[in-house]
Amino acid sequence: MTLIKSQTLQPMSRHRFKLEIIFLMTILFGLSAPAQGSTQKWTAQWEPTKPVNGSPVLFRVTAPLQLTELNGNFLGQEFSFRPNTACHCWYGFAGVSLATKPGTYTLRVEGKGAGEKDAAMSYTVAVGAAHYPTSALKVAPGFVEPPKETLARIEEDQAEKKKVFSTTAPETLWSGRFEPPAEAEVSGVFGSARVFNGVKKSQHTGLDFRVTTGTPIVAANSGTVILARPLYFEGNCVMIDHGQGLLTMYLHLSEFKVKEGDTVKKGQLLGLSGGTGRATAPHLHFAVRWRGEYLDPRTLLELHPPGS
C-alpha cells in the first residue's frame, strides 16, 4: 500500500517514526472475515493490511477457545503464535517472499485447547504487487566481476553463510517493536533493482542508512549474535538470530562491538558503521531474513506487536 511506496528517501528519526506510527495505527489494522463459516469469536488481523511481495507480516488472532498453543501456516511456512495478555490475542510473524505473485493466499491457524477439542480456522489474505524502483550504481570493477584470486574466499563466505543461515532458535527471542539500527536518513530502499556498472546484477535486499564511518549501530531487537566477522561482499558483518527463522543483518561495519555467541538486547551497540566490503561509500546496509527470504526492513520497523 501507499505506506511502503511513498516513503522512499525520508528521514528515519525515532521521533518522526513515532508520529507516523500514531497516524498509521488508525489505518493499519485490517479485519478479515473468516474464509469458512464458523463462530463469531475467531478473528484475524494483520499488518500491513495489504502485504506485498517482500513484506514481513504480523498476524494477530483471537480464538473462541482457551488455547494452550496456536500454530499458523502461510505460504507454505509453519510458524507459532505467542499469547499476549494486553491484546487478549495470539500473534505470530511470517513473511511474503519477493518471488510471491499477487493473489489471495490462505492463513491456516490451528490451536490446541486445554481439555477441549482442538480448533482450526482459515483466512484469506490478499497479497499485492510491490513497485520497487531501479537504481544504477558504480563500484570498483572487482566487485562486479570478482577477480579469480578472490573466488575461493567468496566460496568460503558462501559456505559460512549457509551454515549460519540455518542456525535459528526454536523459540522467539524478540519482543515489542523493532527499532531502527541507526538514527540516520535512508539512502537506499529494499527491492530496488541494482544495476552495477551498467549490468543488472540483483535486487537490493536491504535498507541502506546514510551514516559516516564510526556511527553507532545497534540491535533492532533482542537475539543471539550468530555471525560477527569480515566477509568479501558484506564487509564486517553482524547477524542476529531473533528465533523462529528471523534474522537481522548489519553490513559494512568498521568495527565490531560484539562477538559470535553473544546474547544482545534491543538497542545494544553491535559495532560502528563503515564502508568495508562492496560499498561505494560508508553506509549501513540493514537486512531482514526470514526462512531463507529477504524481507523489507522498513515494513518490519513499522509493525506494532501487541504490548509495544
Binding status of residue 296 toward Zn ion by CB under 5 A:
no
Instruction: Kindly indicate which of the ranges 35-43, 154-162, 203-211, 223-231 contains the residues binding Zn ion, using the contact rule CB under 5 A.
Output: 203-211
Per-residue contact string for residues 229-248; x = within reach of Zn ion by CB under 5 A:
--------------------
206 binds Zn ion (CB under 5 A): yes
Q: Which of 204, 184, 211 is nearest to 274 (CA)?
A: 211
Measured from the CB atom, is 63 or 211 closer to Zn ion? 211
| 92 scored as a contact of Zn ion (CB under 5 A) | no
Select from 245, 258, 257, 228 the least CA-distant residue to 290.
245
If residue 163 lies in a helix (H) or strand (E), which one and from where to where? helix 151-165
289 lies in the binding site for Zn ion (CB under 5 A): no
Q: Considering the complex, what minimum distance in angstroms separates the CB of residue 171 from Zn ion?
A: 30
In the bound state, the residue with its beta carbon closest to Zn ion is 285
Single residue of 242, 285, 289, 291 touching Zn ion by CB under 5 A: 285
CB closer to Zn ion out of 242 and 285: 285
Helix (H) or strand (E) holding 194: strand 193-196
Interface segment toward Zn ion; rule CB under 5 A; list 40-48, 55-63, 159-167, 285-293:
285-293
Residue 111 found at the interface with Zn ion (CB under 5 A): no
The strand pairing partners of 72, in sequence order, are 79, 109
CB 107 within 8 A of CB 59: yes
Instruction: Please choose, out of 29-37, 229-237, 264-272, 283-291, the segment that lies near Zn ion by the rule CB under 5 A.
Output: 283-291
For every residue of 220-247, DSSP letters joined together read: SS-EEEEEEEEETTTEEEEEEE-STTEE
Q: Which CB atom, from 74 or from 233, has the smaller least distance to Zn ion?
A: 233
Find residue 82's DSSP bridge partners.
91
- Least distance (Å) from Zn ion to the CB of residue 43? 38
Largest CA distance in the chain: 65
- Tell whether residue 252 is a contact of Zn ion (CB under 5 A): no
Give the residue with the Cβ less far from Zn ion, 35 or 195: 195
- 282 is a contact residue toward Zn ion (CB under 5 A): no
**Which cell numbers hold the place of 58?**
504480523
Segment interacting with Zn ion, rule: CB under 5 A, options 143-151, 168-176, 234-242, 281-289: 281-289
- The position carrying cell 473462541 is 64
Smallest gap, in angstroms, from Cβ of residue 108 to Zn ion? 35
- 157 touching Zn ion, by CB under 5 A: no
- Nearer CB in complex with Zn ion: 106/202: 202
With cell 491484546, the residue in question is 87
210 vs 285, beta carbon nearer Zn ion:
285
Chosen residue from 47, 157, 208, 302 binding Zn ion by CB under 5 A: 208
**Counting Cβ atoms within 10 Å, is residue 115 exposed (0-12), middle (13-18) or buried (19+)?**
exposed
Of residues 163, 267, 279, 167, the one with CA closest to residue 221: 267
x/- contact string, 125-154, with Zn ion (CB under 5 A)?
Answer: ------------------------------
Q: Considering only CA atoms, which of 301, 171, 177 is closest in space to residue 243?
A: 171
| C-alpha cell read off for 195 | 544495476
The alpha-carbon radius of gyration of the chain (Å, integer) is 20
Q: Both ends of the chain: CA-CA distance in Å?
A: 23
Give the footprint of Zn ion on this chain (CB under 5 A): 206, 208, 285
